[in-house]
Structure 1
Amino acid sequence: MWQKLMWVGIWLAFMTAPVKDLLDGHHTTVPTVLGWLGLGGFVTVYLTLVLRHTARPLATTAGHILLGFLAALALTLSLTLGGPWLVLFVYVSVSCGATLPLALATWAILAATASMTVIGVRVDHVSGVVPSLVVPTLLGGFAMTGVRHLIRTSVELREARATVAQLAANEERLRMARDLHDLLGHSLSLITLKSELAGRMLPGDPGQAARQVADIEQVSRQALTDVRAAVAGYRRVTLPAELAGARTVLNAAGIQADVPTDAPQGLPAAEEEVLAWVLREAATNVVRHSGARHCAITLTEVQNLDGRFLELRVRDDGPGGSPSGPPVAGNGLTGLKERLEKVSGALEIEAGRKGFTLTARIPLIPEPSALPLGSGS
């Protein structure tokens, strides 16, 4: 604000002519008082238009009224008090550049310059004043149109940066919500299953129940570690760990699991992490919703017209239907689709009478080295 006021204040140097005219005592008391009042009102309206309108436009009607008042005041003071007051048209021109659209401002600046010239030639002893004011009037008006454009652009840029920052914050919150859903959904499902199993074993087999409780403690600690890592921003899941975890959670739920023993080697970190999240969510959904007795997980390399892909497929023999229900934005299947889209992957879902199949594909780079894929166990 102060920088803008200092820049605008440079133009007030032209006000020395009317101020000097009032201080020299060439006018009687009444014209002098009215001149001071008119000059004060003129400067106030001028600063209002230039300082306010360049950043945040006034209402069109209010801007036009103030601009008309400024022009009328400049016209009246110039005709009644003489040539030194012609400099007011410089400020009228600057105000036009600051207030009006470019096309309209061009004509208004030219009109202000022409009016100043016509009035000047009709007032005595201004033959040297009018030529010296024509250039500042034109230059000041057109320069202000450029300054206004720069100021508006700067304001819009700051607003755009604030919007981008807000969108980034929203995206980070969405990522965190999705990660926590994936992390805790898997772990809590396993804890629930083992708790139920321990409860059934407790009366007849306390030793086995104790082992299940120990597993619950281990899973809980791991879940706490994962949540802390996710909040800290450095957590990364891996495909080998999720293959082992899927085998454990499926077996604990009494589902026969056919899971590869090894994970592909040489996958980029981002692609591997996405597949790991897909596998974790898919295994969790099978345990929670499928009612299946058998689940097969495969990792294969496929070739089609679009190129070479690594395909993860999770198939169960449950009653059918979507294991997670309608996708919810930010959670479940929608969250998996969002993850895959970030690595140019795709998600396919097939629900039938004999089970549910989830297939995720990620593209492989052209002519990659062979990826050793594990066999089912």
Structure 2
Amino acid sequence: MEKPNHKHAADSFSSEDLVSPVKKAKKSEETGCDTSDGNRKLPSGAEDEKQDAGEAIAAVANRGAEEEDNRSCVLAEEKKEIIVEADVAEDKGARHTMEDVWVVLPDASLDFPGKLRCAHFAIYDGHGGRLAAEFAKKHLHLNVLSAGLPRELLDVKVAKKAILEGFRKTDELLLQESVSGGWQDGATAVCVWILDQKVFIANIGDAKAVLARSSATNELGNHTEASNPLKAIVLTREHKAIYPLERSRIQKSGGVVSSNGRLQGRLEVSRAFGDRQFKKFGVTSTPDIHAFELTERDNFMILGCDGLWEVFGPSDAVAFVQKLLKEGLPVSMISRRLVKEAVKERRCKDNCTAIVIVFKHG
């Protein structure tokens, strides 16, 4: 039996993968964004398919009256340092090939330095191959930075605009490349940027991001998850052809959603990078983008491709990671245990990739 293809930070991905050949010479003596360390650190600055993810996102964006009260207290205090630790694991599952690609960059400024912390994490889930996923990995973040992602003074509108433009530019270049290369595969994406203490989430397709938040804090400001289990908040909205809003958009573009819920009977997702042959039928690379401010109540995030969420519900995954954190396991081990549980114990048949991002409050 073939051994599982578990990989983590030490196995691959360097910032050099995101630097153009011309710029590599300039960076040859720099440490750049080295991610070879198993535990990456940086300093401050399946719910069911029909869940209304909009409500979950609204819970983060609006927070409600109770949240606003808590937020006022937090903002009244001096900002506390938040340490971010992240790591990734992957397994090809029962598939013959691995089409998932990931990015873990604790320092993602590259050639765009600035005063604000900038970290970037992403999972690209390829379908029909991994060329589109690899292309997005190499180009999206650079395109977002080039589009003006704030690096000195945070402006949420400017940041969202840069992310939107980065997605558009990446897909435009990818489609040009796919024509000359004669390939037609595509890739979904779930991406996170952490600027200072603001988190931006962008997604296309069916990969998800889930936030684990404490329901309350005690008078010392410490989390009280022992008596109040962490809430699992879905930060992304799935884009599938069968969903009403996506179906309507597809039909307006001349596409057809077949009885099997797939675009033209073939493609399940309605937003993706690449998929050149489906662009004329409404497949778009325009992401949903959401943002929230990190507070003492935010414990960790889980990014996962659809393979992970086929066997883990959001609350289930949060409880699994929370248990391992309480046991004192490092983030690198937690990400591997999560993927192993999905593939070996829960029989995930698809490629499975997960990034665990832990927020440690100083």
Global fold match (TM > 0.5)? no
Q: TM (normalized to structure 2)?
A: 0.24
Bigger relative contact order, structure 1 or 2 (CA pairs below 8 A, ≥6 apart):
2
Q: TM (normalized to structure 1)?
A: 0.23
Structure with the larger strand share: 2
Is the radius of gyration larger for structure 1 or structure 2? 1
